[in-house]
Amino acid sequence: MKPPNLRHLVNESPRVMVVDGSRLVRKLIGDVLSRELPNVDVVACDGVGAARNALAAGHVDLVTTSLVLPDGGGMEVARAVREAAGQAYVPVIVVSGNVQADLESRSFTEDITDYFDKALGHNALAAFIRGYVQPQPIPGARVLYVEDSRVVAMATKRMLEHNGMLVTHAISVEDALLVLEANRDDGPAFDLVLTDVYLKGKLEGSDLLDRIRNDFGYGKRRLPVLVMTGDANAKNQSELLRAGANDLVLKPIEERLLVTKALFQLRLSRMPEQPNLQ
């Protein structure tokens, strides 16, 4: 199968700003990015002040920042990005060793685009960043997509298929469980599950998540689950993450974010374990 055309999502020579108080961490991340993205221009900054100067000097395509910096915090960096001319929509990624706890407490602001757990290691971070600036398809990746609105399903299915994924659509959790059960003896029949939270029928997306994690015993790396929700309630979002969702995709669905999150989870599930970022 010919890979789909992703030029509408790809930046061929991305400029990535890496903000971290540790020179070693900045060098490690920069080296990995330079290896994985040969045309990348890494702008290393040791704090909020240096980040503001870099933003004033020119456009960046993506920013990674630690939460704690010598002269402030990652949230200040994110705010500086949003206030910089022409950069209101630049992805800002928080790199933290406490991502799960911070996600569950919903302690991040809307200035943050996404979050990366240091425990996943340098190579996973490079894949994560590449997913934003140079997304590459994974032809043949199998996605089980659960959505009861046929109109929404058609549009979202088209987004995923446009990026090389093979999508099986189930209109209810009950139907999705039948498909998973039919292939249980051979392990997961899919590489990723994408489900809405609120679905018609007796079971909802949270029930599907519970069955996948507990009844089937599939962990986050073996069968990643992305949950789509339009619920802005922080407590409800936290419960989904604690129940085993790999990540949330907030509605209305934005193609680039959905595809980035899906491709990252697919790549991460295939990666060997990496040493932690320090």
Cis peptide before 137 (omega within 30 of 0): no
**In this structure, what CATH number is given to the domain that contains residue 115?**
3.40.50.2300
In a domain, 1, yes or no: no
Residues 122 and 149 in one domain: no
Domain count, the chain: 2
Same domain, 152 and 117: no
Task: Give 198-241 pLDDT, tens digit per residue.
Answer: 998 899 999 999 999 999 999 988 999 999 999 888 788 888 98
| pLDDT of res. 5 | 36
Residue pLDDT, tens place only, 114-153: 888 888 888 888 888 887 777 778 889 999 999 999 999 9
Q: Closest Cα partner for 240 from 223, 230, 227?
A: 227
Higher-confidence position of 255 and 216 = 216
Q: What is the pLDDT at residue 221?
A: 86
Cβ-based neighbour number of residue 251 at 10 Å: 14
The answer to whether the CB of 227 falls within 8 A of the CB of 241 is: no
Q: Which one of 84, 101, 133 terminates a domain?
A: 133
Dihedral of the alpha carbons of 178, 179, 181, 187, in degrees to the nearest 10? -170
Q: Which of 37-46, 90-99, 206-215 has the lowest mean pLDDT?
A: 90-99
Per-residue pLDDT at 132: 78
